[in-house]
Amino acid sequence: MNSLPFLITKKFSLKKNKNYLIFLTSILSKIGVSISIFALIVSVSALNGFQVLLNKTILSNLPHGIMKFTDQSYFKWHSMIKKINILPGITYSEPYIVTKGLLVIKNQVKPIEIKSFSNIKHLKKKFFFHLKMIIFLKKKGNECEIILSSYLLKYLSIKKGNWINIFFLNKKDDDLNSQIQNFSLKITGVFESNGILDSKIGYVPLSFFKKFFNADKNINTIELHMSDPLNADKIILNAAKKINTPFLAYTWIDSYKYIYDDIKKIKAVVYLGLLLLVIISCFSIASISLITVFKKTQEIAILRSMGANNRLIQIIFLYYGLRSIIISNLIGLFIGITTILNFKRILLFLEKNFKNNMLLDNIYYNNFFMLKINFLDVIIIFISTMIIGMITNWYPAYYASKIDPSKILKEY
C-alpha cells in the first residue's frame, strides 16, 4: 500500500503527453522553481558572506572597546594595561591615541586619520584578514615612520619608501602659529585597504607621540580587543567591576550594532521576496496537476472501480505534483551550491574577461562580496519549498478524490 501511490504516479508521469502546450508549460514551471531556488540560495549566501566580511572589516579595524579614565591624578596607564590584559575576555589593550592630520606630497593634500600603535605583532594580527597585506618595518625604534593603506598610496601615486609630510593640529596651544606642526615621515609599511573604514588611516608608533607630543603623561584612554567582540558590553562591564577605577566606556556595538540588525532584516526580506517567486512557480505546477486531473478522469474512475479510496487518490496526485517540485528543488539547489563553491573561479573568469566593468570595479564587489553557504539555510529552503508544494498541490489532489466514477464510466 505504501509503494502503490508511487508506482501509479510514476506510470502517470511516464505516459506520453500529446498536448505539447501543457508539456511546455510544465517544463517552464519547473524551470521557474529551479531559478527561484537558485536565486534564493545564492542571495542568502551572499548576505552570509557579507556578514562574515563585515565582521572581519569592522572587528579587525576598530577597537572592540574603549576606556576613558576621568581621574588622571593617580592614573598610570602602564600599570592599568597590565591589570586589563589579565581580565577574562580581553586579549590585548594599548593606549588609544587618534588625531586628524593632513598628508601633503607632490602638491597633493589629503585629510587622513593618524592612529598610534605600540605592538607591531598585534598590528600584524589585526590585518590578518586583509588580502595581499604586506608590512615592512626594518628599523625598530624609528619614530618617524608611518604605515599607510594601499588606497592612499594608489590615490597619491606614492609607494613604500617615500617620505611624506604630515601636518598635525596641536589643540593645546592658543597661539595660531604653534597650533600646526609639520613632520616628515617615511612610509615603511603598506596594508591592503579593506573598505571605507581603513582607507584613509595611517599608523604611527606610540613612541612618536611620546617624543613629539609628550603623550606619555597625558594618556587617559585605552583601547581593548576581545576574544568575543559580540559580547563586548558584557566583557567591559565585568572589567569595570574588577578595576574599581572610574572611567567612561563604550564599545563598537554602540556605533555599528545596527548594521547587524539591518542584515537580519534584509535577509528576511530577500528570503520572503524570493519565496513569493517559489510560491508563484509552485502554483503553476499545481495548475498543471489540476489539468492532469481533468485528463486522467478515466484512469481515476478505473482506480475507483478497483477499490481505491479517497485517501489513495489524494496521495497519488499529491505525489504527482510534488514530484515536479522535488526535481526542480534539487536542480536549483545543486546549481546554486555548485555556483557558491566555485564562485572564486567564476570571479577570476569575470575579472579576466571583463576588466573595465563598472560592476566589478566598485567597492562592494572588491571588499564585501563573498558567498558563504550555510547548511541550515539549505535545509530551510528545501523544507520551505516542500511545504509550499504540498499546500499548492493539495487542492488538485482533493479535487481528484471527489470525482464520481459512476458519472465518468457512463460516458464510456
Instruction: Encode pLDDT of 207-236 as tens digits.
Output: 888 888 887 777 888 999 888 887 888 888
Q: 60-69, 109-118, 271-280: which has the minimum mean pLDDT?
A: 271-280
Q: 48-52, 225-229, 251-255, 363-367: which has the minimum mean pLDDT?
A: 363-367
Look at residue 130 and tell me whether its pLDDT is greater than 50. Answer: no
CA distance 263 to 268: 9
Look at residue 14 and tell me whether its pLDDT is greater than 70. Answer: no
CA distance 32 to 130: 39
Looking at residues 136-143, what average pLDDT do you find?
A: 52
- 126-156 in b/e burial notation, b at 16+ Cβ within 10 A? bbebbeebeeeeeeeeeebbbbbbbbbbeeb
Look at residue 80 and tell me whether its pLDDT is greater than 80. Answer: yes
123, 66, 114, 168: CA torsion to nearest 10? -150
pLDDT at 410: 60
Cβ atoms of residues 247 and 120 within 8 Å: no
pLDDT at 101: 87
In the predicted model, what is the mean pLDDT of the chain? 76
Look at residue 17 and tell me whether its pLDDT is greater than 60. Answer: no
Looking at residues 55-83, what average pLDDT do you find?
A: 79
Kindly state the cell numbers that stand for 236: 567591559
Kindly report the CA angle at 238 between 236 and 240, in degrees rounded to 5? 70
Residue 203 half-sphere exposure toward CB, CA atoms < 13 A: 25
Using a pLDDT cut of 70, give the percent of the chain over it. 73
**Alpha helical stretches, state H, 296-305:** 297-305
Looking at residues 309-324, what average pLDDT do you find?
A: 75
pLDDT at 137: 47
Looking at residues 56-85, what average pLDDT do you find?
A: 80
Closest C-alpha to 286, from 333, 330, 322: 322
Distance of CA 152 to CAs 113, 241, 322, Å?
A: 12, 42, 57
pLDDT at 334: 92
Cβ atoms of residues 285 and 393 within 8 Å: yes
Task: Sort 289 into a burial class: Cβ within 10 Å, 0-12 / 13-18 / 19+.
Answer: buried
Going by the DSSP 8-state scheme, the letter that residue 230 receives in this structure is G
pLDDT at 251: 86
Element (H, E) at 59: helix 20-61
**Max Cα–Cα distance, the chain, nearest Å:** 109
pLDDT at 194: 64
* Contacts of residue 226, Cβ cutoff 8 Å, sequence gap at least 6: 64, 65, 89, 90, 91, 232, 235
Distance, CA of 263 to chain centre: 8
Q: Are strands 201-205 and 108-117 parallel, antiparallel or unpaired?
A: parallel
Tell me the pLDDT tens digit for each residue of 146-187: 888 888 888 888 888 888 888 887 655 444 445 678 888 988
Is 393 strand, coil or helix? Answer: coil
**Alpha helical stretches, state H, 180-252:** 196-199, 206-213, 232-243
pLDDT at 173: 47
Tell me the pLDDT tens digit for each residue of 241-269: 888 788 888 888 777 777 777 777 877 88
Q: Tell me the residue type at 383.
A: I
Using a pLDDT cut of 90, give the percent of the chain over it. 1
Element (H, E) at 84: helix 77-85
CA distance 34 to 20: 21
pLDDT at 110: 87
Look at residue 19 and tell me whether its pLDDT is greater than 80. Answer: no
CA distance 298 to 378: 40
Q: Within 10 A of 307 (CB to CB), how many other CB atoms are there?
A: 7
Look at residue 368 and tell me whether its pLDDT is greater than 70. Answer: no
